[in-house]
Amino acid sequence: MLEPSATPRQAERTATRVIEGEALVMVIDRRELHRLNEVGTRVFELCDGSSSVDAITQAIVREFEVSEAIARADVERFLTQLVAAGAITLEARA
């Protein structure tokens, strides 16, 4: 479980392009390309270093009309996958 106040930030060594609502994220050092669906693209966009995990979850609830419990589980799982892929980092907030 991720700390709700943690702040995700896109990794510096990524390149991103959004085409028709879906992001293509290249993790340069790993030479990996990831294709994100519409919700994944929005989550990745919100990984700007100023939004907490909780704030990202709340945005997904509002924008995609999903329950908070489902959004929280999906956002946390996806953020964990992005960290493992090297596409984002998580910063602890005081």
**CATH class for domain 12-86?**
mainly alpha
Q: Where are the domains positioned within the chain?
A: 12-86
Geometric angle at alpha carbon 56, from 4 and 8, rounded to 5°? 70
Q: What is the pLDDT of residue 1?
A: 81
pLDDT tens, residue order, the chain (94 aa)? 899 999 999 999 999 999 999 999 999 999 999 999 999 999 999 999 999 999 999 999 999 999 999 999 999 999 999 999 999 999 987 6
Q: Give the Cα separation of 94 and 86 in Å (integer).
A: 24
